[in-house]
Amino acid sequence: MAKKEETISMIDSLAEFKELKNIDKETMISVLEDSFRNVIAKMFGTDENYDVIINPEKGDFEIWRNRKVVADDELEDSNLQIALSEARKISADAEVGEDFTDEVHFADFGRRAILTLRQTLASKILELQKDNLFAKYKDKIGTIITADVYQVWKREMLLLDDDGNELLLPKQEQIPGDFYHKGDAARAIVQRVDNLNNNPKIMLSRTDNMFLQRLFELEVPEINDGLITIKAIARIPGERAKVAVESYDDRIDPVGACVGMKGSRIHGIVRELRNENIDVINYTSNISLFIQRALSPAKISSIHVNETEKHAEVYLRPEEVSLAIGKGGMNIKLACMLTGYNIDVFRDIDGADEEDIYLDEFSDEIDGWVIDALKNIGCYTAKNVLAIPREELIERADLEESTVDDVLRILSAEFEDDSNE
């Protein structure tokens, strides 16, 4: 009776092993067979004459022993040989010199062997699960996952995925506005996977720049399709973010595509990030123009860039300085992070004495591409342009002489009209 219970217990162990998720059949059979063969080798000195058959579908197993039939008085090793009289009790046709195969019941090996096998299997199963978990999430680094909150602690939060695996979201990787209860679903990015003493530790993040990038990829099909690329991201989690985007198709407006009609695409991202304000700007390789866009909504008067030292001096009218710096210095901090330049802001006192006019206001008289060419050389206002000699404008802006003459005439006329009044 005891042997029958032990056999049933072994089959239950195999059934548990069969139910394990994410372990392929070949690995499962290999581990089980190795475990059986280790026990057999310890008991009989060799396992070479044994066949172990595993049925992972049903959760059972069979062990068959191959021996040579010998005369009763020639029996030397009962593990490798079987006496003719004993063989004929099992099969009446047995003859000396034949190979004889019979089934071995594992329960006959004794209770200690069964317990050893159970412990070996349990250890290998745990090791397989850990290796599998590590490999699974190693491949998921940089991707968004959704998990259920299981426990909230002071310094971190424990989440469980669909398979019951434990994931950690540290406090410093949570957005300040995050507030979860047990059972809530939370979205985060897999930031890294540590393997300490063969114990996988999966760390999540909601403050990583990659989390914002993946959210854009989910909401904006053009980014997922590769038509629009996110070139740079700067974030102060839960407060504000700036995202620089570029389109490889001239027919697509990258900023408009990311924002969506009436903000339909970006609103979902903002809600997920606890109302984090997101500025989407057009990327350009022209660093002066890129810095100007990064400092929006402020409009700059002039800019001096030192590309060697990654430093920029920006001059603005007094009323624009506060916009450039932003609340708590947030705008200029994000602009520095986005562009990689150290930006200093100065009040343009000289330009403040007299009224100046931004070039954009002349769009009805000057073509847009001409205005862009002038902005590319650091001229954003009429007086910026008028302060540069005609020949230098032609050379630096790469414009035709007639085009530059027309621009100078239009801009000069505006100030002449003001003085006549």
Domain of 200 in residue numbering reads as: 140-205
Same domain membership, residue 248 and residue 214: yes
How does residue 59 score in pLDDT terms, banded at 50, 70 and 90? low
| In the block, residue with structure tokens 């009609």 | 261
Mean pLDDT over 85-91 rounds to 82
Contacts (Cβ under 8 Å, ≥6 apart) of 394: 400, 401, 404
Last residue of a domain, one of 176, 205, 234: 205
Q: What total of structural domains would you count in the chain? A: 4
Same domain membership, residue 117 and residue 60: yes
pLDDT digits (tens, 9 = 90+) for 258-287: 999 988 999 999 999 999 999 999 999 999
Does the pLDDT value for residue 184 go beyond 80? yes
pLDDT of amino acid 183 = 93
Same domain membership, residue 229 and residue 168: no
* CATH number assigned to the domain comprising residue 372: 1.10.150.20
- Return d(Cα 272, Cα 281) in angstroms, integer: 20
* CATH number assigned to the domain comprising residue 63: 3.30.1480.10
Same domain membership, residue 263 and residue 182: no
Same domain membership, residue 282 and residue 248: yes
The encoded tokens of residue 320 equal 């624009």
Same domain membership, residue 129 and residue 161: no
Same domain membership, residue 7 and residue 106: yes
Q: Lowest-pLDDT range, 145-154, 173-182, 365-374?
A: 365-374
Pairing of strands 60-70, 81-83: parallel
- Return d(Cα 252, Cα 223) in angstroms, integer: 11
How does residue 15 score in pLDDT terms, banded at 50, 70 and 90? low
Last residue of a domain, one of 350, 370, 403: 350
Same domain membership, residue 271 and residue 200: no
Same domain membership, residue 243 and residue 328: yes
Last residue of a domain, one of 135, 157, 191: 135
Same domain membership, residue 122 and residue 60: yes
Same domain membership, residue 241 and residue 337: yes
Chain-centroid distance of CA 130 in Å reads 21
How does residue 23 score in pLDDT terms, banded at 50, 70 and 90? low
* CATH number assigned to the domain comprising residue 184: 2.40.50.140
**Degrees to nearest 5, angle at CA 222 with 221 and 227:** 150
- Return d(Cα 284, Cα 373) in angstroms, integer: 13
Length of the chain as a residue count: 421
- Residue 307, Cβ neighbours under 10 Å: how many? 10
- Return d(Cα 48, Cα 54) in angstroms, integer: 17
Mean pLDDT over 24-38 rounds to 77
pLDDT of amino acid 28 = 73
Does the pLDDT value for residue 330 go beyond 50? yes
Contact call for residues 243 and 255 (beta carbons, < 8 A) = no
Whole-model pTM: value is: 0.68
Same domain membership, residue 394 and residue 342: no
pLDDT digits (tens, 9 = 90+) for 211-232: 999 999 999 999 999 999 999 9
